[in-house]
Amino acid sequence: MGSQKFPVTLYTTATCVEECKQARDMLNRRGIPFSEKMLKSNEESAELSKILGSEAAVPSLIVGQQTFKGLDYGAWNNLLDLAGYPKSAPYGARPSGTFAR
């Protein structure tokens, strides 16, 4: 499984509502265990900019050492496929992310 070798982090902000929800939903549909980092300060945005190598944008996804800025289902699925993650959530998988229950 990719989660140990290629941990997944989703970057969001409090003002990113619909697109960040779509990003969370996409990861949860695939059963991807991920951590969510909600950017709350200019310093945190600057840190993400360094990681991305360009201006920070949300949602952004990091899979292991690979990054992708903005929600792009094709690119995100490709990164997750290459890391060996399942294409769909196993039965009974629990959602991840800030708003998971």
Phi/psi region, residue 2 (left: phi>0; alpha: psi -120 to 50; beta: rest), is alpha
Q: Which two tokens stand for residue 1?
A: 């499984």
Q: Which residue has the tokens 């289902």?
A: 73
pLDDT at 14: 94
The separation between CA 71 and the C-alpha centre of its own chain, rounded to angstroms, equals 9
pLDDT band at 101 (very low <50, low <70, confident <90, very high): low
For 13-48, write each residue's pLDDT tens digit. 999 999 999 999 999 999 999 999 999 999 999 999
Angle at 100 between CA 30 and CA 63, to 5 degrees: 45
pLDDT at 45: 95
Q: pTM, whole model, 2 decimals? A: 0.88
Q: Which two tokens stand for residue 27?
A: 């990861």
For 54-98, write each residue's pLDDT tens digit. 999 999 999 999 999 999 999 999 999 999 998 888 777 777 877
